[in-house]
Amino acid sequence: MSRFLLALVFGVCAVGMGSIPAVGQQYGDLTATFVYGGDPFVASPLKITSDKEFCDRFEVLDETLVVNPQNQGIANVFVWLFLGRGEQAPEPHPSYAETAEDKILLDNLECRFDPHALVLRTTQTLILGNSDAIGHNCKIDTFANPPINYTIPAGGQLEHQLKMPERLPARVSCSIHPWMSGWVLVKDNPYMAVSDADGKLEIKNVPVGTWTFQVWQQRAGYVNQVTIDGQPVEWVRGRLEIEINPGTNDVGTVVLAPELFAD
Amino acid sequence: MRKATEFGVGLTLLLVAGGCGMSRYEFEPNRVYLRAQENITRVELSPVQRQDIQDILAFWFGTPDEPRFPALADVPMDEILDLELLQAAAGPVGSEEDGTNFGVYRRNCAVCHGITGDGIGPAGAFLNPYARDFRRGLFKYTSTLGPMTPPTDQDLRLLLERGMPGTSMPSYQLLADRDLDALVQYVKYLAIRGSVERALIVESVDHLRDADDRLVDVDFDRDSPERIAAALAELTPLISFLARPWLDAPSRVVEVPPRPEGWDSSEAVARGRELFAGQVANCATCHGDDGRGDVDTVDYDDWTKEYFDPQNPRRVHEYLALGALKPREMVTRNLQWGIFRGGSEPEDVYQRIFHGIPGTPMPAAPIKDADAPATDLRLTTDDLWDLVAYVLFLSSSGDLVANGSVASSNVSGQ
């Protein structure tokens, strides 16, 4: 938030950042796979406290840590381009124009938020949906944007725009069903992603050069201690510096120890 | 070294305070929010980094005895805060011969809301509900659109005059006009100061590179005010961002549409009853069909959820040790009691349904334009008035509704 403001107010231009795409600008993709380093992790079911007759038919699991039993992949790890004080995001690759005004669905489905974690650009529109046969509401505790709390009728949809970039993923909850939770990361640039069910993520078309990305998981906070290729690596404040070259730039298989998720 | 200095300064202050009648009141750092942010990010600030936050705040906002606020290039702070009234509200309690009072906040408010406005005054822990912590700048009962839009001066003033039925907040109707205005100013001041502190915490946790990096490279004890002000200039957009909504609040007031004709007729009550139980307004899910609020829901307000995760309750102890109040489960309002904290006029109830209650699970009603197609599932403002009619009907004849006799005879709707 304040980064954005500082840049806006003072017109601070990032030193050494290509904020205007130069002719012949080259791009590369960032990829990473996050895996759980402990014994197979089984999520526990959450306690359904209201609308039991509808919600009890689904198995609603604790999603604070989601590990794939097949390959230990960790879903819902957020990675975004980190900008220091006064730095501006680079001009996005032209391919991002196509999705700049997309509508991104955050559904209430089977008494949980679907998806559990998503990324949203300030130019995109969030659709708050409700595919369930009961009423839900959707409360998003944003920091830079006005927080919202809308009721969403069964089968209904609402559109909402979050116009300011957020520093961290914002928590989504449903007041009627307090076990429900989700996360939305809002940025004013497209260089962010969230890991899929196999723990994989990809951020495409990053301008070549050295960039810092920030890695965050809801239970671990900034992911600061990891193991890559058997070597312990420290990412201070979840910050991972990487040189992006044309082609694929793989961070590798990043192993997160169970201690990171300890209470 | 910084610790030693702190101790030294503290000791000197104590001695001076004892010697010349100065009060020892100080603003408390927001340790709970800092810890919560440290836990979310797994970053720990160094003692110097923590002290910087307090020094910056003191430079900009002064002390409980001498409040001030910085002049900003882009937001006219003196249109938001009135320094003279702030000074009347601040400082030790006293009055002059002509009846002009000083220390109005400390006399009337601090025992519950605390010197810092953190809701942890000496009596704070014993109240139910707890006294409001002003430091988020978030208020429940406002006339302005959007949960992050602050209340207007008039909203705060009304609250002071009316008090809040069903809570420990009394009516201050008997205070002098000027004192009430001074309190409104001081609450705004504490709210802005508190939210700037939170922003500085976030700024530190998010953007400092390592334990030696600092928000601002100055020596608060030795550098000239001019040099400090110049060094802090790059952080003032934080204040602008947080203060501007207070300036804009009056333009964000949502006028309540006039009561439609027959707004409280039995037909309106019957329609309201239907909406209340229906899937769109969805009131009954928490309040129950008869509004008694005895549905089994477990939830907490946003002030609490900042340090308390209901899914992980044991974690709360580290926050309690830092002064946080023991989490209290939210109680869904029993509408049959007819006690409405934000006021019981139909217009007040309308506002609660329209805006929701910021900081609580009570959501805003989904509203559509009068000419929206029938397929649009949201509510019209007339629907809201029907809900108001039903809610007020519940409290006027709640027992009858509860046992069904009125519901089935008088309010059948046809």
Nearest to B143 by CA among B387, B358, B391: B358
Strand partners, A185: A119
Residue with tokens 């689904």: A58
Strands A157-160 and A170-173: unpaired
**Per-residue model confidence as pLDDT tens digits over B96-114:** 888 888 999 999 999 999 9
Nearest C-alpha in A relative to B314: A263
Q: Which of B252, B279, B311 is the last residue before a domain boundary?
A: B252
**Per-residue model confidence as pLDDT tens digits over B197-212:** 999 999 999 888 888 9
Residue B318 and residue B307 in contact, taking contact as beta carbons nearer than 8 Å: no
Indicate the average pLDDT of chain B: 88
pLDDT (0 to 100) of residue A135:
87
**Per-residue model confidence as pLDDT tens digits over B79-98:** 999 999 999 999 999 888 88
Give residue B405's pLDDT band: very low, low, confident or very high (50, 70, 90). very low
Nearest to B78 by CA among B92, B68, B87, B88: B68
Nearest C-alpha in A relative to B136: A143
pLDDT (0 to 100) of residue A11:
35
Mean pLDDT of B175-194: 97
Q: Which residues in chain A are contacts of B312 at CB distance < 8 A? A: 263
pLDDT higher than 90, residue B54: yes
pLDDT higher than 50, residue B11: no
| Number of alpha helices (DSSP H) and beta strands (DSSP E) in chain B | 19, 2
B18 in a structural domain: no
Q: Do A175 and B363 touch (CB under 8 A)?
A: yes
Nearest C-alpha in A relative to B145: A146
Phi-psi region of B91 (alpha: psi -120 to 50; beta: other; left: phi over 0): left
The parent domain of residue B394 ranges over 266-297+332-408
Query: CA triplet A218, A223, A228: central angle to 5 degrees?
Result: 135
pLDDT higher than 60, residue B48: yes
Q: What is the DSSP string of A170-212?
A: EEEE-SSSTT-EEEEEEESSS-EEE--TTSEEEEEEEESEEEE
Q: Which residues in chain A are contacts of B216 at CB distance < 8 A? A: none
Nearest to A192 by CA among A89, A72, A45: A89
**Per-residue model confidence as pLDDT tens digits over B316-340:** 999 999 999 999 998 889 999 889 9
Helix B177-207 with A2-10: angle, nearest 10 deg: 100
Q: Which residues in chain A are contacts of B195 at CB distance < 8 A? A: none
Looking at the partner chain, which of A155, A176, A236 has a beta carbon nearest the beta carbon of B282? Answer: A176
Give residue B407's pLDDT band: very low, low, confident or very high (50, 70, 90). very low
ipTM for the predicted complex? 0.72
Kindly list the structural domains of chain A, giving each domain's residue range(s) and its CATH number in brackets, ordered by start.
Answer: 2-261 (2.60.40.420)
By three-state DSSP, how is residue B308 classified? coil
B197 in a structural domain: yes
Q: Do B43 and A167 touch (CB under 8 A)?
A: no
Q: Do A50 and B297 touch (CB under 8 A)?
A: yes
pLDDT (0 to 100) of residue B376:
82
pLDDT higher than 90, residue B271: yes
pLDDT (0 to 100) of residue A15:
37
Q: Which residues contact B230 (CB under 8 A, 6 or more apart)?
A: none
Please tell me the distance in Å from A6's CA to the nearest CA on chain B. Answer: 6
CA distance B330 to B136: 19
CA distance A179 to A173: 8
Terminal C-alpha separation, chain A: 28
Looking at the partner chain, which of B42, B203, B377 has a beta carbon nearest the beta carbon of A221? Answer: B42
DSSP A165: -
Tens digits of pLDDT across chain A (263 residues): 444 444 433 333 333 344 455 668 999 999 999 999 999 999 999 988 888 889 999 999 999 999 999 999 999 999 999 987 778 899 999 999 999 999 999 999 999 999 999 999 999 999 999 999 998 989 898 888 877 888 888 888 889 999 999 989 999 998 888 899 999 999 999 999 999 999 999 999 999 999 999 999 999 999 999 999 999 999 988 999 999 999 999 999 999 999 999 87
Please tell me the distance in Å from B218's CA to the nearest CA on chain A. Answer: 18
Please tell me the distance in Å from A85's CA to the nearest CA on chain B. Answer: 7
pLDDT higher than 80, residue B311: no
Mean pLDDT of B140-154: 87
Do B112 and B68 share a structural domain? yes
Strand partners, A35: A73, A255
Q: Which residues contact B316 (CB under 8 A, 6 or more apart)?
A: B307, B308, B324, B326, B327
B310 in a structural domain: no
Do B196 and B173 share a structural domain? yes
Q: Which of B241, B296, B301 to mutate to test the interface with A (most CBs of A within 10 A)?
A: B241
CA distance B28 to B54: 9
Do B192 and B65 share a structural domain? yes
Looking at the partner chain, which of B146, B206, B237 has a beta carbon nearest the beta carbon of A9? Answer: B237
Q: Which of B219, B252, B285 is the last residue before a domain boundary?
A: B252
Please tell me the distance in Å from B256's CA to the nearest CA on chain A. Answer: 19
If one counts the domains in chain B, the total is 2
Looking at the partner chain, which of B146, B206, B363 has a beta carbon nearest the beta carbon of A151? Answer: B363
pLDDT (0 to 100) of residue B1:
42
Q: Do B202 and A220 touch (CB under 8 A)?
A: no
Do B359 and B235 share a structural domain? no
Nearest C-alpha in B relative to A175: B361
Read off the tokens for A222.
């900034």
pLDDT higher than 70, residue B61: yes
Residue B78, Cβ neighbours under 10 Å: how many? 11
B257 in a structural domain: no
B20 in a structural domain: no
pLDDT (0 to 100) of residue B378:
85
Q: Which residues in chain B are contacts of A137 at CB distance < 8 A? A: 282, 361, 363
Nearest C-alpha in B relative to A218: B40
B72 in a structural domain: yes
Q: Do A134 and B41 touch (CB under 8 A)?
A: no
Do B214 and B339 share a structural domain? no
Peptide bond into A115 cis (omega under 30): yes
Q: What is the dihedral of CA B85, B88, B90, B91, to 10 degrees?
A: 160
Q: What is the CATH number of the domain that holds B381?
A: 1.10.760.10
pLDDT higher than 90, residue B398: no
Residue A5, Cβ neighbours under 10 Å: how many? 16
Look up residue B85 and give its amino acid. Answer: L
Nearest to B196 by CA among B137, B250, B153, B249: B137
B322 in a structural domain: no
Share of chain B above pLDDT 90, in %: 68
Q: What is the DSSP string of B64-106?
A: SSSB-----SSS-HHHH--HHHHHHHSSS-EE-TT--EE-HHH
B7 in a structural domain: no
Per mean pLDDT, which range of A119-123, B2-6, B379-383 is the poorest? B2-6
Burial class (CB in 10 A: 0-12, 13-18, 19+), A227: middle
3-state class percentages of chain A: helix first, strand second, coil last, to nearest 5: 10, 45, 50
Nearest C-alpha in A relative to B277: A135
pLDDT (0 to 100) of residue A20:
54
Q: Do A49 and B298 touch (CB under 8 A)?
A: yes
Residue with tokens 């069910």: A197
Do B171 and B69 share a structural domain? yes
Q: Which residues in chain A are contacts of B362 at CB distance < 8 A? A: 149, 175
Give residue B6's pLDDT band: very low, low, confident or very high (50, 70, 90). very low
Question: What is the interface size between A and B, counted as CB pairs within 8 Å?
Answer: 132
**Per-residue model confidence as pLDDT tens digits over B24-34:** 799 999 999 99
Do B153 and B83 share a structural domain? yes
Phi then psi for residue B243, to 5 deg, are: -90, -30
Do B347 and B235 share a structural domain? no
Q: Which of B45, B201, B285, B306 to mutate to test the interface with A (most CBs of A within 10 A)?
A: B285
Do B245 and B276 share a structural domain? no
Q: Tell me which long-range contacts B19-22 makes (C-beta under 8 A, separation of at least 24).
A: B22/B65
Do B246 and B393 share a structural domain? no
Do B246 and B161 share a structural domain? yes
Do B81 and B53 share a structural domain? yes
